[in-house]
Amino acid sequence: MRLVIARCSVDYTGRLNAHLPLATRLLVHKGDGSLLVHSDGGSYKPLNWMSPPCALTVEQPDEVDVEDGVIQRWRVTHAKTGDALLVRIHEIVHDTAHDLGVDPGLIKDGVEADLQRLLAEQVSVVGENLTLVRREYPTAIGPVDLLLRNDDGPGTVAIEVKRRGDIDGVEQLTRYLELLNRDPLLAPVTGVYAAQEIKPQARVLATDRGIRCLTLDYDEMKGVQSGAPRLF
């Protein structure tokens, strides 16, 4: 992972256009190729970003950029959509790289782990004619929570389970789907983002990427309603 603090401007072109004027920001270039642009605010959410699969190339500034004080240009292009993130760097304040190694993955809390287990036992909540392949199905970047087989035809369903569903979870499931769809024995793989609560921004992003959102009722799945156990 490379961390660069730089005075820069950023332009995003593609399905939408966006511009960040000149300011000092943190640029995070990850080993998976993604680039995130952060300010000193907004908590964990980047101002702009490019998700994998994408590639970063370093360009020499043209005459106009040189006159404006640009010393380097980073262009990050998405391999599928052609969307591009262009970072014009005026000054590099700090530049460092670290090898983080293989991440063991997130240890889920009790409720999230229970949701995953309950959904594996009740796959009919997701849809009809689905069969569990396995929980924690492995991929090169970590396990997807559930993988289901479609008994009515070809294809599988990958499910990411969260207690509260935000944009990060959608990004995580997107990366899993990219890898799983490369396997001809699994493809086509569709995605389901399942959570007790899904934030509106996450729902919009998931819908845009063809991922279905599923709101889970934890008490109902446990067989509890209004504080009283129920058998039927």
Residue type, 203: R
What's the pLDDT at 181? Answer: 94
Give pLDDT, residue 224.
46
Torsion of CA 132, 138, 142, 143, to 10 degrees: 20
pLDDT-flagged residues of the chain (< 70): 105-110, 224-232
Say what the pLDDT of residue 231 is: 37
CB neighbours of residue 77 within 10 Å: 18
Cis peptide before 138 (omega within 30 of 0): no
- Under 8 Å between Cβ of 28 and 36: yes
Residue 102's pLDDT is 77
Can you give the pTM of this predicted structure? Answer: 0.55
Q: Residue 37 and residue 179: Cα distance in Å, rounded? A: 25
Strand order in the sheet with 35-38: 48-50, 35-38, 18-29, 2-13, 84-97, 72-78, 54-59
SS3 assignment, position 77: strand
Angle at CA of residue 164, ends 210 and 230, nearest 5°: 105
pLDDT value of position 229: 39
Handedness of CA 85, 90, 93, 99 (dihedral sign): positive
pLDDT of residue 193: 97
Q: What is the pLDDT of residue 101?
A: 83
| Span 57-111, pLDDT tens digits | 999 999 999 999 999 999 999 998 999 999 999 999 999 999 988 777 665 555 7
